[in-house]
Amino acid sequence: MSGFDRVLEDIRAGRPVLVYDFDDRERETDMTVASQFVTPEVLRRMRHDAGGLVCTTTPGRLAEEIGLPFMSDVFWDDVERYPLLRAMAPTDIPYDRTKSSFGITINHRDTYTGITDDDRALTITQYAETIFMDAPMEDIRREMGERFRAPGHVHLLNTTDRILVDRRGHTELCTALMYMAGVKPSATICEMMGDDGGAMPRDRVEEYAASEGLSFVTGTEILERWEAFRAGNGEGL
């Protein structure tokens, strides 16, 4: 089994994998798990071993169909009432020429505060179950309204329309991995932070991966496999 095939197998088994983007982008690694397999234990590990912001991805076209906006669009639509939002538009992200991938934040309605590991695991797994329901879109929208409230403690991220074509961030890299693994294409991700105030360097991440028996994969490797996957599964992805 190749190293990349092991990554996909680990995803199918609900194990975390470590995804480094690119030397000329963020130069960061995210701990990644398929959203459908997130547990309180997974979130505890992300808090302790990664330490960044826990976020959950949504394929961009699906988010648009459901009606889950980019947060920057929500802000922009309200600039007449709140002019400061116009001045704060994310037009100067140093590593990216597209707008922020941040969407809205949510809690499942059965949570209490929403921030505990138990609460966030419930929100994330129920979110993945709901958005990928085999049902008409109007039913999915209704279930979203009945099951979730916003704002909440789980940060949603929307991919760009064409995954890894218009943007090559962790939102897209990790969602692409979910597609290739054949699981529900939503990833829950958390940046690996260092002890020096910055991101954990790649070599330290690789040491951690080796010591913990976790798979490590780069954005370049994902891009190579993604092109072949898209060619074989329709370039609408």
Tell me which residues are annotated as active site: 30, 55, 95, 107, 153, 191
Give the DSSP letter string of 151-185.
EEEEEEEEPPSSBTTTB-SHHHHHHHHHHHHTS-S
- Alpha carbon dihedral 219, 221, 223, 228, in 10-degree steps, equals -160
Only one residue has tokens 């309605």, namely 109
User: Residue 91 corresponds to which tokens in the numbers above?
Assistant: 């037009």
Interstrand relation of 187-191 and 29-34 (parallel, antiparallel or unpaired): antiparallel
Query: CB under 8 Å to 144, separation ≥6 — which residues?
Result: 66, 68, 130, 131
SS3 state at 216? strand
Q: In this structure, are residues 42 and 143 in contact, taking their beta carbons and an 8 Å threshold?
A: no
- Alpha carbon dihedral 132, 217, 52, 85, in 10-degree steps, equals -60
